[in-house]
Amino acid sequence: MAKAPFGVTISVENLSGDEDTEFAAAASAFLEKLQGVDELEVEVPQRAEPGTRGLIAILSAIVVWGAKIGAFKAIYTLTRDFLDRYRNAEAVLKFRDGSTLKLKGLSREEAKRRMEEHLRRTAEKA
């Protein structure tokens, strides 16, 4: 689905900059729910964690692909849930054309309108 007409990179950031287990739990739940949306393909890059054998998700480079605008509306709902769980965070969508959209502080209708506008513009250029 990587060739799907709609693609966006989601950046999820902890604005406090502190190591925070509450943020990690909220971000993990967000990713799990995002990956559960049927019509979206979600790629979460990972990097090795120094001093351990584990990998951690790179939350500033989550790539989401889809073929239908409607599937992208779920991104707002899931992001809103994430921001409600952890208020000291921010989620930014970066579209293929280089434009960005911060979802924090937007109404559902405004976020949907802006996402649809960006996705349509991206599809027209493809």
CA distances from 113 to 13, 20, 117 (A): 23, 33, 6
**What local confidence, expressed as pLDDT, does residue 36 receive?**
92
Distance CA(62)–CA(56), nearest Å, equals: 12
pLDDT in tens, the chain (126 residues): 556 777 889 999 998 877 778 888 899 999 999 999 988 999 999 988 777 777 888 999 999 988 777 777 788 888 888 888 888 888 998 987 788 888 887 787 888 888 888 777 766 765
What superfamily in CATH does domain 6-125 come from?
Answer: Ribosomal protein S10 (3.30.70.600)
**What local confidence, expressed as pLDDT, does residue 126 receive?**
59
- Please state the length of the chain: 126
| Among the listed residues 84, 82, 79, 81, the one whose alpha carbon sits nearest the alpha carbon of residue 111 | 79
Residues 14/71, Cβ–Cβ less than 8 Å: no
Q: What is the model's pTM?
A: 0.80
Tokens of 63: 């790539």
Coil, strand or helix: which one is 122?
helix
